[in-house]
């Protein structure tokens, strides 16, 4: 190799960066001690910026395009070096390529619940989760404020700081919005825009912007959600008295179905025994050993009715017949009191029901010593 080839190998004449990662924000061009040739070609692709740093000082910033590195397109570097227009010697500078595309689908959320004063629930804690995007809008400021001399700077190195800024802005916006918690789901788009506007003023000092910010979910603490679910269930049930009546009717229907099934099973067993007494193909029946006689099972206890009382437009009960007898003695139940039980056609006065009319005719014997 000749001396000319050796000297040309010491100079850099093509400068560019092709990013094959998804999270690199800044990459320093590796000179490896070589000098940059005067008139070298600098290629800055779309979504990139190239920042020159000469002897620790920020120099020129190049936007997308193809450049010949000469004194006429490096004004800051020319001023720093006191070059004249006849300068054609190699020079040394650090070159940082900055990725100016959007970094999308970044996750964020409140690590701890945010406090707010809800107009319906009072003091409440909520959590929020969402996604956002980050973009470098001022490469020079971003390089001086955040990156420094880091040769390869990734999104993970600043995402924690950005999330802290988002949480602070979100807590402030939510606390001052005055929107009820139950209505926040319908206002997530507006809340996202307000939070993004609050964040933009802070991250702009780092040379960044937040092009998109979406709130995906706003949730209450688990204990509050359980109480809210109970409240929703009460709203669905509606009239509690009608709900109790419905459950009682369903229970009676289930008992009736069970009794019918039991009777059907007994009839089937009887038919099977009758068929067993007949021989095959009409032959004489074979002797069948008769099981030992056993006492029949006791009948099920009768189902005691329960009664409801209507007074002043309100319903009381249910009461057993014994309880109603005590109420007759104390005067709480009269012949004109309206009563109802399952299976009865509407409300009736107590003296219209045969089972209850006798409560008013049977009087206790006189007490001892009377």
Q: Is the pLDDT of residue 187 over 90?
A: no
pLDDT tens digits, 200-256: 888 999 999 999 888 888 888 777 777 777 767 766 666 667 667 767 777 777 666
Q: How far apart are CA 188 and CA 318, in angstroms?
A: 49
> pLDDT for 80-120, tens place per residue?
887 766 667 788 889 999 999 999 988 888 777 788 888 77
Q: Is the pLDDT of residue 19 over 90?
A: no
Give me the mean pLDDT over the 17-27 stretch.
Answer: 90
Residue 66 has pLDDT above 90, yes or no: yes
Cβ burial, residue 247 (10 Å; 0-12/13-18/19+): exposed
Give the whole-angstrom CA distance, residue 279 versus residue 325.
61
**Domains identified in the chain and CATH numbers:** 3-99 (no CATH), 103-234 (3.30.479.30), 307-360 (3.30.1490)
Q: What is the pTM of this model?
A: 0.56
| Residues 110-149: tens digit of each pLDDT | 777 788 888 777 888 888 888 899 999 999 999 988 888 8
Q: How many CB atoms lie within 10 A of CB 96?
A: 25
306: CB partners within 8 A, 6+ apart: 317, 318, 319, 320, 341, 342
Report the share of the chain in percent with pLDDT over 90. 16
- In this predicted model, what pLDDT tens digit does every residue of 296-342 receive, in sequence order? 777 766 667 787 888 887 888 788 888 888 888 888 888 888 888 88
> What does the pLDDT read at residue 315?
85
Q: How far apart are CA 131 and CA 107, in angstroms?
A: 5
């Amino acid at each position: 190799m000749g001396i000319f080839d050796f000297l040309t190998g010491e100079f850099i004449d093509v400068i560019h960066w092709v990013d094959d990662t998804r999270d690199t924000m800044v990459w320093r061009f590796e000179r490896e001690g070589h000098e940059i040739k005067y008139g070298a070609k600098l290629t800055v692709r779309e979504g990139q910026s190239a920042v020159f740093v000469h002897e620790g000082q920020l120099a020129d910033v190049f936007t997308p395009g193809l450049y010949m590195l000469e004194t006429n397109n490096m004004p800051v570097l020319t001023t720093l070096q006191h070059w004249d227009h006849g300068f054609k010697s190699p020079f040394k500078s650090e070159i940082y390529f900055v990725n100016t595309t959007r970094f999308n689908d970044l996750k964020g959320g409140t690590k701890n619940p945010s406090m707010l004063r809800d107009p319906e629930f009072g003091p409440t804690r909520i959590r929020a989760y969402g996604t956002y995007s980050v973009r470098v809008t001022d490469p020079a400021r971003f390089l001086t404020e955040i990156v420094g001399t880091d040769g390869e700077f990734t999104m993970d190195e600043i995402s924690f700081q950005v999330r802290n800024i988002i949480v602070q802005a979100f807590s402030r916006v939510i606390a001052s919005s005055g929107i009820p918690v139950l209505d926040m789901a319908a206002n997530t788009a507006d809340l996202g825009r307000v939070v993004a506007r609050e964040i933009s003023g802070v991250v702009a000092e780092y040379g960044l912007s937040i092009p998109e910010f979406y709130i995906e979910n706003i949730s209450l603490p688990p204990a509050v959600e359980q109480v809210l679910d109970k409240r929703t269930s009460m709203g669905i049930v509606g009239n509690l008295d009608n709900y109790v009546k419905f459950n009682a009717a369903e229970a009676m229907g289930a008992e009736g179905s069970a009794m019918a099934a039991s009777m059907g099973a007994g009839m089937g067993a009887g038919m099977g025994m009758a068929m067993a007494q007949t021989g095959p193909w009409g032959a004489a029946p074979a002797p069948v050993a008769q099981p030992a006689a056993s006492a029949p099972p006791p009948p099920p206890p009768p189902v005691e009715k329960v009664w409801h009382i209507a007074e002043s437009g309100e319903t009381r009960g249910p009461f057993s017949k014994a309880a109603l007898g005590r109420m007759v003695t104390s005067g709480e139940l009269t012949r004109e009191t309206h009563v109802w039980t399952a299976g009865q056609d509407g409300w009736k006065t107590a003296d219209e029901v045969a089972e209850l009319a006798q409560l008013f005719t049977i009087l206790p014997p006189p007490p001892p010593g009377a």
